[in-house]
């Protein structure tokens, strides 16, 4: 080990990343008929199912073997709960009741393992939604101040799935940076330029229109070097929007989450270039800590602007490559054999930090 900087990093050897859970990942709020034990039990089951969907990133869990048994014992895993009420919108109607339930983290993780799934706890990408709605031949951007029902539908759909969703402010800067036609025609260059002010999120484009008694939408998820298209349709604009966000999350979970934790972790050697100082080092460590597919890692060597890391990857090499493709600050580099690596084997993956 040649580098004089190596002593600075060696305290991290055999370190496991700190857990940085997505907000509200292990809790859910659902309607409840009243405060009776029977009504509470029914609502707790519904809340537990919502938590399993949110924590795993996957929908449609009811068809999985063992799901019904898990729901039957949902009350056993409750950490805390509380009620709240909403005044009825119309005179004479009953107030709405809700129950918020938080479940034990370990119990949720065990339940998902029993279903053959794993928790997507860290590293969920932010998604910026540019939405254009066409009504009676007129097209307009989603207006956060006027289109409150659609905004609420988008936020609720994202909250139910644990998707970090960003909505454009649609101030003068946004309006001058991006035209409606750019979104409708998927002008990627213009869209990416307009999105820079929001950091480095993934971008979801929605083109929503009314067709008779139905609302339809075409969606495009912009990913590094590629695009993913899908569609949704429902009786209302709000439902169609929610269905689009669901499909975006479905696709992300299928691509970037290990199918199960049962197969263990695969060891991989990773080299990162462009680590010129403490600032770049801190950026890289933060990125690694947010990748929950990396169960643990150890820094083997620091030399010049390079860092060699031994990592254990849940789901294997392909899952890691997929997840790292979301990181715009990393550029893949062709891997070469590493004659100085500790132990046998060859270098698996090389990336440059920008």
Res 261: pLDDT: 56
- The tens digit of pLDDT for each residue in 221-257 reads 999 889 999 999 999 999 999 999 999 999 999 888 8
Task: Tell me which DSSP letter residue 64 carries.
Answer: S
Cβ neighbours for 251, distance < 8 A, ≥ 6 positions apart? 221, 228, 230
Q: Quick one: what percent of the chain has pLDDT higher than 70?
A: 88
Fold of 127-256: Rossmann fold (3.40.50)
- The tens digit of pLDDT for each residue in 206-225 reads 999 998 899 999 999 999 88
Res 305: pLDDT: 92
Res 167: pLDDT: 97
Res 264: pLDDT: 65
Res 6: pLDDT: 38
Report how far residue 241's alpha carbon sits from residue 298's, in angstroms, rounded to the nearest whole number.
43
Indicate the domain borders of the chain: 6-20+262-353, 27-114, 127-256
Both tokens of 1, joined, read 């080990």
Res 262: pLDDT: 53
Do residues 114 and 66 lie in contact, with contact meaning Cβ atoms separated by under 8 Å?
yes
Do residues 132 and 141 lie in contact, with contact meaning Cβ atoms separated by under 8 Å?
yes
Q: 35 phi and psi, to 5 degrees?
A: -95, 15
Run of H or E including 43? helix 37-56
pTM across the whole model:
0.79
Query: Of 82-96, 99-113, 326-340, where does mean pLDDT reach its minimum?
Result: 326-340
Place of tokens 């696709």: 251
Mean of the per-residue pLDDT values of the chain? 87
């Amino acid at each position: 080990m040649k580098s004089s900087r190596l002593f600075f990093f060696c305290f991290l050897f055999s370190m496991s990343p700190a857990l940085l859970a997505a907000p509200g990942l292990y809790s859910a709020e659902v309607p409840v008929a009243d405060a009776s034990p029977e009504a509470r039990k029914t609502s707790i089951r519904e809340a537990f199912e919502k938590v399993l969907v949110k924590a795993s990133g996957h929908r449609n869990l009811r068809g999985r073997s063992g799901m019904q048994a898990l729901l039957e014992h949902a009350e056993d895993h409750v950490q805390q709960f509380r009620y709240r009420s909403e005044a009825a919108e119309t005179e004479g109607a009953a107030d709405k009741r809700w129950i918020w339930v938080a479940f034990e983290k370990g119990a949720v993780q065990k339940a998902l393992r029993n279903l053959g799934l794993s928790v997507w706890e860290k590293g969920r990408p932010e998604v910026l939604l540019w939405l254009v709605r066409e009504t009676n031949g007129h097209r307009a951007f989603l207006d956060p101040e006027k289109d409150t029902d659609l905004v609420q539908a988008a936020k609720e759909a994202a909250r139910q799935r644990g998707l970090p969703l960003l909505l454009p402010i649609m101030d003068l800067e946004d309006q001058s940076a991006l035209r409606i036609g750019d979104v409708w025609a998927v002008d990627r260059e213009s869209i990416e330029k307009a999105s820079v002010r929001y950091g480095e999120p993934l971008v979801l484009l929605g083109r929503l229109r009314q067709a008779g008694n139905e609302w339809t939408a075409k969606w495009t998820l912009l990913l590094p070097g590629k695009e993913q298209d899908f569609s949704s349709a429902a009786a209302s604009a709000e439902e169609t929007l929610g269905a689009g966000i669901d499909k975006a999350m479905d696709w992300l979970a299928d691509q970037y989450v290990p199918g199960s934790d049962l197969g263990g972790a695969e060891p991989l050697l990773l080299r990162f270039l462009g680590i010129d100082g403490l600032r770049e080092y801190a950026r890289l460590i933060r990125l690694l800590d947010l990748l929950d597919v990396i169960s643990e890692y150890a820094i083997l060597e620091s030399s010049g602007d390079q860092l060699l890391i031994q990592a254990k990857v849940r789901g294997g090499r392909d899952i890691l490559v997929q997840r790292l493709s979301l990181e715009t600050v990393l550029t893949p580099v062709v891997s070469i054999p590493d004659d100085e690596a500790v132990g046998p084997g060859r270098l698996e993956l090389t990336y440059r930090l920008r």
